[in-house]
Amino acid sequence: MATLKAQFEAAVAESKSLSERPDNSTLLKIYALYKQATAGDNTEKKPGFVDMVGRAKWDAWNGFKGTSGDDAMKQYVALIKSLS
């Protein structure tokens, strides 16, 4: 069985060629899990009220605060597999 990092990297590549574009809430979850897996907990400043896209991304990523990188990778891989 491939290592978790290899599975994650394969899922990242696969996410770029999904047959259908996921809905916005799923896209935010994909983004948030990727950021949590690669950068860890969100320590960036929360975007202002007028930056709605940035704020949605920030909120989604911050929702996974405390999730380990390995857990985030596992969830990311499972989510991409469910969309394929």
pLDDT one-digit tens code per residue, 62-71 = 999 999 999 9
Which residue segment(s) compose the domain that 8 sits in?
A: 4-83
pLDDT at 2 over 80: no
Q: What is the pTM of this model?
A: 0.92
Mean pLDDT of 57-83: 96
* CATH value at residue 10: 1.20.80.10
Say how many domains are in the chain.
1
DSSP letters spanning 11-75: HHHHHTT-SSPPPHHHHHHHHHHHHHHHH-S--SPPPPTT-HHHHHHHHHHHTTTT--HHHHHHH
